[in-house]
């Protein structure tokens, strides 16, 4: 018979500490056979974080340094959010949890997709522990699909154009800030004119409160 707690109820199993969970994630080797450059899970998170950035997967430079968004895409994203590197890399303020934690390698036209094993394995264990998050940024098509599911529009552009609708729900879909997307930004000036000022105001308020 299992040990009993109060009034004969089963004893409660202590919850794994957040640090232990992060250590397990960083030690993950589930996709090792598929990763030409090896496993190096890259993320940052803390239970106090108020903003959550869900991106796609680390690029080559991020894989080499172990620092999320430590590349030109990160420079662009920090400019979008109007925050400096010190704030961006403070896990007590901002959590960065990709759809795939390891660099998937190069494909015929850019990086390969995030490994499909990663998010289903780790997101259900990690994201519920981020209880103070007030706004989630879903960056790029894979993250938008993962965070919005059936609530997304037929295309990435339509989904991002509906940013006001999603902002009210606490999830903000964004295009990827990669230099490869320069043409997209040129075709959709509303993103810089309308969306970015509102995003920056919301970020300033959340990080200040």
- Indicate which CATH number applies to the domain containing 117: 3.40.470.10
How many other CB atoms are there within 10 angstroms of residue 33's CB atom? 6
**How distant, in Å, are the alpha carbons of 102, 128, 153, 160 from that of 80?**
24, 26, 23, 14
Q: What is the pLDDT of residue 51?
A: 98
| pTM greater than 0.85 (yes/no) | yes
How many other CB atoms are there within 10 angstroms of residue 110's CB atom? 11
Number of domains within the chain? 1
**How distant, in Å, are the alpha carbons of 17, 19, 89, 94, 149 from that of 46?**
11, 9, 11, 8, 25
Residue 170 near residue 151, CB atoms below 8 Å: no
Domain residue limits at 65: 42-208
Q: What is the pLDDT of residue 9?
A: 55
Domain presence at residue 146: yes
Domain presence at residue 73: yes
Domain presence at residue 8: no
Residue 107: strand pairing partners: 110
Domain presence at residue 16: no
Per-residue pLDDT of the chain (209 residues; tens, 9 = 90+): 444 445 555 566 678 999 999 999 999 999 999 999 999 999 999 999 999 999 999 999 999 999 999 999 999 999 999 999 999 999 999 999 999 999 999 988 889 999 999 999 999 999 999 999 999 999 999 999 999 999 999 999 999 999 999 988 899 999 999 998 999 999 999 999 999 999 999 999 999 87
Domain presence at residue 19: no
Residue 45 near residue 96, CB atoms below 8 Å: yes
């Amino acid at each position: 018979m299992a040990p009993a707690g109060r009034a004969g109820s089963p004893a409660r199993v202590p919850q794994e500490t957040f640090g232990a969970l992060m250590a397990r994630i960083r030690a993950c080797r589930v996709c090792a056979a598929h990763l030409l450059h090896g496993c190096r899970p890259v993320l940052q998170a803390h239970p106090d974080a108020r903003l959550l950035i869900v991106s796609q997967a680390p690029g080559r430079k991020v894989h080499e340094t172990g620092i999320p968004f430590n590349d030109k895409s990160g420079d662009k994203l920090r400019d979008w959010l109007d925050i400096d590197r010190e704030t961006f890399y403070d896990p007590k303020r901002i959590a960065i949890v990709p759809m795939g934690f390891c660099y998937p390698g190069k494909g015929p036209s850019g990086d390969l997709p995030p490994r499909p094993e990663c998010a289903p394995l780790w997101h259900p264990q990690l994201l519920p522990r981020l209880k103070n998050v007030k706004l989630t940024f879903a960056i790029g098509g894979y993250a938008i699909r993962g965070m919005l599911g059936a609530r997304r529009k037929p295309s990435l552009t339509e989904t991002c154009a509906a940013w006001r609708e999603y902002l009210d729900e606490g999830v903000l879909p964004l295009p990827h800030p990669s230099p490869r997307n320069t043409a997209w930004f040129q075709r959709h000036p509303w993103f810089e004119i309308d969306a970015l000022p509102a995003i920056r105001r919301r970020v300033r308020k959340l990080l200040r409160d």
